[in-house]
Structure 1
Amino acid sequence: MEWINDDSVLLIVDVQNDFIPGGALAVSEGDQVVPLINDMQKKFRHVIATQDFHPSDHGSFAANHPGRKPFEFIELAGLTQILWPVHCVQGSSGADFHPKLNRSQWMAVFQKGKNPEVDSYSGFFDNARRGDTGLGDFLKSIGIRRVFVCGLALDYCVKFTALDAKSLGFETFLISDATRAVNLKPEDGNLAIAEMEAAGITVLTSNQL
Structure 2
Amino acid sequence: MVLDKKTWDSSDALLAKFDANHDGLIDYDEFRSMCVELFGPDEVERHEYRVRDIFDILDLDEDGYLNREEWERCYNEWTLVVVNPVNVLIVVDVQNDFIDGSLALRHCGKGQDGIEVIEPINRLLAEVKWHKVVYSLDWHPDTHIGFYENLGLRELHSDSKISKEEAKLFDTVVFRDPYLEQRLWPKHCVIDSWGAQLHKDLVIAPGSGKVRKGQHPDMEAYSVFSDNNCADSRELLNILEEVGATDLYVCGLAYDVCVKATCLDGLRLGYRLAVVEDCCRGVNPVDVEDTRRLIEDGGGLLTDSQAVPRFVTGDTRSLVMALQLAKSMAKKHGAVVSRAE
CA distance in 2, matches of 1:16, 1:173: 22
Q: State which of 164, 173, 176 in structure 1 corresponds to 2:274.
A: 173
Structure 1 position 130, deviation (Å): 2.8
RMSD value, Cα: 1.9
**Greater helix content:** 2
Residue among 221, 243, 247 paired with 1:146: 247
Q: Which residue of 2 aligns with 1:91?
A: 192
Assess if the C-alpha contact under 8 Å between 1:111 and 1:133 holds in 2: no
User: 1:163 corresponds to which letter in structure 2?
Assistant: L
> Which residue does 1:49 correspond to in 2?
135
* Gap runs ≥5 in structure 1: none
Q: Does 1:37 align with 2:121?
A: yes
Scaled by the length of structure 1, what TM-score is found?
A: 0.92
Q: What is the alpha-carbon distance in structure 2 between the residues aligned to residue 134 and residue 92 of structure 1? A: 22
Residues 1:182 and 2:266 are matched in the alignment? no
For 2:290 and 2:257, how far apart are their aligned partners in 1? 11
**One-letter amino acid of the structure 2 residue matched with residue 13 of structure 1:** V
Q: Which is richer in strand?
A: 1
- Shift in Å, 1:94: 0.3
Larger Cα-atom Rg? 2
Q: CA deviation at 1:175?
A: 0.3
Runs of 5+ consecutive residues of structure 2 not aligned to the other structure: 2-38, 40-81, 106-111, 153-164, 309-341
Q: Please show how residues 49-88 of structure 1 align to structure 2 within 5 Å.
A: 49-66=135-152, 67=165, 68-76=167-175, 77-88=178-189
**Corresponding pairs, count:** 206
| Cα distance in 1, alignment partners of residues 146 and 268 from structure 2 | 25
Query: Quick one: structure 1 residues 106 and 34, their matched pair in 2 at CA, closer, same or farther if it must change by over 3 Å?
Result: farther
How many Å apart are 1:5 and its aligned residue? 6.1
After superposition, residues 185-196 of structure 1 pair within 5 angstroms as: 186-196=285-295
Distance (whole Å) between structure 2 residues aligned to residue 90 and residue 133 of structure 1: 20
Partner of residue 13, structure 1: 92
For residues 163 and 142 of structure 1, the distance between their equivalents in structure 2, rounded to whole angstroms, comes to 21
- Whether 1:108 aligns to 2:108 is no
Task: State the secondary structure of the residue aligned to 1:65.
Answer: helix
Q: 1:82 to 1:9 in 2, by over 3 A?
A: same
Q: Which amino acid aligns with 2:171?
A: E
Give the alignment partner of residue 24 of structure 1, picking from 78, 99, 102.
102
Show structure 1 runs of 4+ deviating over 4 A: 1-6
Please give the alpha-carbon distance, in whole angstroms, between the structure 2 residues aligned to 1:71 and 1:181: 14
Percent identity (aligned): 36
Q: Conserved in 1, the CA contact under 8 Å of 2:132 and 2:243? A: no
One-letter code aligned to 1:51: L
Partner amino acid for 1:194? R
Q: Distance in 2 between matches of 1:131 and 1:172?
A: 18
What's the CA shift for 1:131?
A: 5.4
Alignment-derived partner of residue 127 in structure 1? 228
Q: What CA distance in whole angstroms lies between the structure 1 residues aligned with 2:83 and 2:303?
A: 12
